[in-house]
Amino acid sequence: MNETKYWTWHMGAGAILLFLLGSHMLIMHIGGLVHWFSPYGGEAISVKNSLFRDSSLYFAVGYVLLLGIALYHGLCGLRTVLFELTLKPAVERAVTVFLWILGLGLCGLGTWAALAAHRTALLGAGG
C-alpha cells in the first residue's frame, strides 16, 4: 500500500497545485493590470506590490503551502521517473530517503525565506 500513499498524495497535491499555481499565475500576469493584489499599479512584481503581498499573512502561508506542495508533487514525480530505471531495492530506498531530505531541506529554506520576507514587509510597513 506504500505506493498507494505516495500516489494518492501526489494526485491530491496536483489538484491543490492547480488552484495555488493558477492563482499565482493570475496575480503575476494580470494582477498589475487589474490591481488584483497589486494596489500600486504597474508591474505585479514591483517592489511596492511585492511588499504589499508579503505583508499579508494570507500570502505568507500561501507561499509556504505552494512551495511544500509543489516540492512534494515534483519530487514524487521525479521519484517515479527514477524508479522506471528499475533500480535495485536498496538504491530505491536510498533515492526515496535522499529525495525526502532534499524536499524537507528546500521546504525549510523556502519557509524561512517566505517568513523573513513577511517580517521584512511588516517592518517596512511599520516605517
Q: Contact residues for other proteins (CB under 8 A)?
A: 1-8, 11, 83-84, 86, 92
Minimum CB distance to other proteins, residue 3 (Å): 5
Minimum CB distance to other proteins, residue 96 (Å): 10
Residues, the chain: 127
**45 in Cβ contact with 91 (< 8 Å):** no
Q: Could you tell me which residues come within 8 angstroms of residue 122 by beta carbon, excluding any fewer than 6 positions away?
A: 55
CA nearest neighbour of 78 among 102, 57, 54, 58: 102
Whole-angstrom distance, CA of residue 90 vs CA of residue 77: 19
Minimum CB distance to other proteins, residue 72 (Å): 16
Whole-angstrom distance, CA of residue 8 vs CA of residue 28: 30
Closer to other proteins by CB, 58 or 86: give it: 86
Closer to other proteins by CB, 11 or 113: give it: 11
Closer to other proteins by CB, 3 or 125: give it: 3
Whole-angstrom distance, CA of residue 43 vs CA of residue 51: 13
Closer to other proteins by CB, 57 or 86: give it: 86
Minimum CB distance to other proteins, residue 14 (Å): 13
